[in-house]
């Protein structure tokens, strides 16, 4: 005789969207259920069924007691997810309405910020991977919303120049906006509060994320948000956190794969995604390395004396002696620059032997020359492909223009790196004078790139390096009065924020350096076109130290000169600038 069947338990309808569609039991862990996480599925989160899709209409009224709500079946829920056309966590789209400013800030990030960033260098991380992760992870969504809100706030501030102190004051529990008036002030206040709420919310949610592949993406987006908010030290914390996660995943993957892939075998999608994140973090880290605010000095060596190359120095070589595409080319040149600056700084602090420093310099010069040859070959192949006779669509023309911008960007940073390698990291300031042709080339490439970078908005925002840093280098290190003024004039005309680098901030600092060096050379000011006199060595600025205060758009600038007898440097000028 068969035993009687147990009375079936009532099926739970409060599980995550993914489990409900799959019709499996959900453990309902927050923010992502463990069943999805352990199976490496994307958990679409949870919805309040009282306000889910369809409940806003009159077709599913609640009972008179108000205790019974309309529940979507698994089939209806799956159909609703398939119909989604909005990027963001499915639970956020199917659940209660997202506040207008939140969704608009995310759309601004998706349509403007990520696309502007990708228009200079090939950056699929921002335009594709961040959006994909944001679709399923609320922490990534909030981080992207914070970046979008900060971008919108920056545009309002750039147009009307109100104080931007509200972000730090609010995040530290202070008051609101000081200065500004009318609608611009109100909008800046709204975007600031949106940025603070979602930046802090992303950090809070990130503590509950268990998947390191998701967490490393969140770390990169939070670093970008901190850059835009002027929180340089916080940005470095996020970058370092992301790099530690990458190191851990790389170690785990190496142990799990044993001997690894065979030579020449293709990488899996997950591995390519992690490479994309690693490259984005390396570029963010290079920005911090070159910017180096005095209140958040870049750390090349940790407390134990370990050089912080973070396992990413391997990106400095051309893989298998061949570049496959422009994305790979950008990865190699930035990896090469980052490795070189790290090792030179470590050598200056005594953590690398002098003879090894010389060997590293020669090896990097050789790798840079190899990269340049490979880029020439790759560009030649691309030009030959584009020249093939065929009817071009508007989309084809845009792809050609995007390729031209990417090539110009790579040429610009190749010229900048070549200048730094040739001049060296130390020595008398006169060592720069032998590289006038390279200075002129950098300015010409920057101008050409600016002409080809079309923005639908009056201000340009990129989360990654652009043309500001190379132009700033020319303005402060080239002593030819015409060339350095061409660079300065271009910086002044630009309305760009590129990661940590602001064109207006760079322009006011460069102008002060030029003034300090040339104030006793009136011919450079009255008629720079015919002035051929270079600044004497004893008047040249050898170092500048900045403290950038995004609270009030001010820069505390200290300029230093070398003593003539070579006994060290001295403070030549100390000023506070507004930009």
CA-CA distance, 79 to 504, in Å (whole number)? Answer: 50
Nearest partner of 14 among 32, 31, 26, judged by Cα: 26
- Comparison of pLDDT for 536 and 389, the residue scoring more: 536
The mean pLDDT of 99-115, rounded to a whole number, is 83
Q: Is the pTM of this model over 0.75?
A: yes
- Comparison of pLDDT for 66 and 347, the residue scoring more: 347
Q: Which are the contacts of 323, defined by CB distance < 8 A and separation ≥ 6?
A: 329, 332, 371, 374, 375, 377, 378
Coil, strand or helix at 496: strand
pLDDT band at 486 (very low <50, low <70, confident <90, very high): very high
C-alpha distances out from residue 465 to 222, 264, 555, Å:
17, 32, 21
Region of poorest pLDDT, from 173-182, 382-391, 531-540:
173-182
- Comparison of pLDDT for 570 and 67, the residue scoring more: 570
- What DSSP character marks residue 301? B
- Is-contact 243 310, C-beta < 8 A? yes
Give domain limits for the chain: 17-61+68-86, 98-251+272-282
Three-class DSSP labels, 306-340: CECCCCCHHHHCCHHHCCCCHHHHHHHHHHHHHHH
How would CATH label the architecture of 17-61+68-86? Irregular (4.10)
Question: How many CA atoms within 13 Å lie on the side-chain side of 544?
Answer: 27
Residue 302, pLDDT above cutoff 90: no
Residue 308, pLDDT above cutoff 50: yes
DSSP H or E stretch at residue 249: helix 232-257
CA-CA distance, 504 to 553, in Å (whole number)? Answer: 10
Q: Which are the contacts of 7, defined by CB distance < 8 A and separation ≥ 6?
A: none
Region of poorest pLDDT, from 43-47, 477-481, 532-536:
43-47
Q: 67-97 pLDDT, tens per residue?
A: 333 455 666 656 655 544 444 455 544 444 4
Q: Residues, the chain, total?
A: 579
């Amino acid at each position: 005789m068969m035993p009687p069947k147990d009375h079936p338990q009532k099926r739970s309808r409060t599980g995550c969207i993914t489990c409900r569609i799959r019709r499996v039991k959900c453990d309902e862990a927050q923010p992502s259920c463990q069943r999805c996480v352990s199976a490496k599925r994307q958990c679409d989160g949870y919805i309040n069924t009282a306000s889910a899709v369809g409940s806003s209409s009159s077709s599913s009224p609640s009972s008179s007691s108000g205790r019974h709500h309309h529940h979507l079946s698994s089939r209806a829920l799956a159909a609703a997810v398939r119909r989604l056309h909005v990027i963001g966590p499915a639970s956020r789209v199917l659940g209660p309405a997202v506040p207008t400013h939140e969704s608009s800030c995310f759309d601004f990030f998706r349509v403007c910020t990520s696309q502007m960033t990708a228009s200079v260098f090939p950056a699929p991380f921002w335009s594709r991977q961040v959006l994909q992760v944001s679709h399923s992870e609320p922490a990534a969504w909030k981080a992207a919303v914070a970046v979008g809100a900060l971008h919108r706030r920056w545009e309002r501030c750039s147009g009307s120049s109100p104080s931007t102190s509200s972000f730090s004051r609010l995040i530290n529990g202070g008051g609101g906006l000081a200065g500004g008036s009318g609608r611009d002030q109100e909008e800046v206040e709204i975007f600031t509060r949106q940025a603070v709420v979602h930046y802090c919310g992303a950090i809070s949610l990130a503590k509950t994320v268990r998947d390191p592949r998701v967490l490393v993406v969140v770390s990169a987006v939070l670093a970008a948000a901190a850059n835009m908010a002027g929180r340089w030290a916080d940005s470095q914390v996020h970058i370092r956190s992301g790099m530690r996660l990458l190191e851990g995943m790389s170690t785990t993957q190496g142990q799990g794969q044993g001997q690894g892939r065979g030579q020449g075998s293709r990488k899996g999608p997950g591995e390519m995604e992690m490479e994309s994140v690693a490259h984005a973090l390396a570029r963010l880290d290079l920005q911090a390395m070159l910017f180096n605010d005095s209140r958040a000095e870049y750390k090349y060596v940790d407390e134990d004396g370990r050089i912080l190359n973070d396992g990413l120095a391997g990106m400095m070589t051309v893989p298998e002696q061949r570049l496959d595409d422009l994305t790979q080319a950008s990865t190699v040149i930035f990896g090469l620059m980052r490795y070189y600056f790290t090792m030179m700084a470590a050598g200056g602090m005594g953590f690398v032997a002098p003879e090894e420093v010389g060997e590293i310099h020669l090896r990097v010069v050789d790798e840079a020359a190899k990269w340049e040859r490979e880029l020439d070959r790759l560009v030649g192949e691309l030009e030959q492909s584009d020249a093939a006779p065929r009817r071009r669509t508007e989309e084809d023309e845009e792809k050609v223009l995007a390729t031209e911008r990417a090539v110009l960007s790579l040429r610009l940073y190749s010229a900048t790196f070549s200048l730094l390698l040739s001049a060296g990291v130390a020595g008398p300031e006169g060592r720069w004078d032998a590289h006038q042709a390279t200075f002129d080339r950098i300015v010409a490439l920057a101008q050409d790139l600016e002409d080809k970078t079309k923005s639908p908005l009056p201000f340009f925002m990129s989360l990654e390096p652009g043309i500001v840093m190379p132009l700033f280098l020319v303005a402060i290190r080239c002593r030819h009065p015409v060339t350095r003024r061409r660079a300065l004039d271009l910086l002044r005309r630009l309305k760009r924020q590129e990661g940590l680098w602001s064109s207006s901030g760079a322009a006011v600092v460069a102008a002060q350096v030029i003034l300090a060096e040339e104030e006793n050379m009136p011919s450079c000011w009255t008629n720079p076109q015919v002035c051929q006199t270079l600044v004497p060595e004893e008047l040249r600025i050898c170092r500048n130290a900045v403290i950038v205060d995004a609270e009030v758009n001010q820069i505390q600038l200290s300029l230093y000169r070398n003593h003539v007898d070579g006994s060290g440097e001295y403070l030549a000028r100390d000023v506070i600038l507004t930009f």
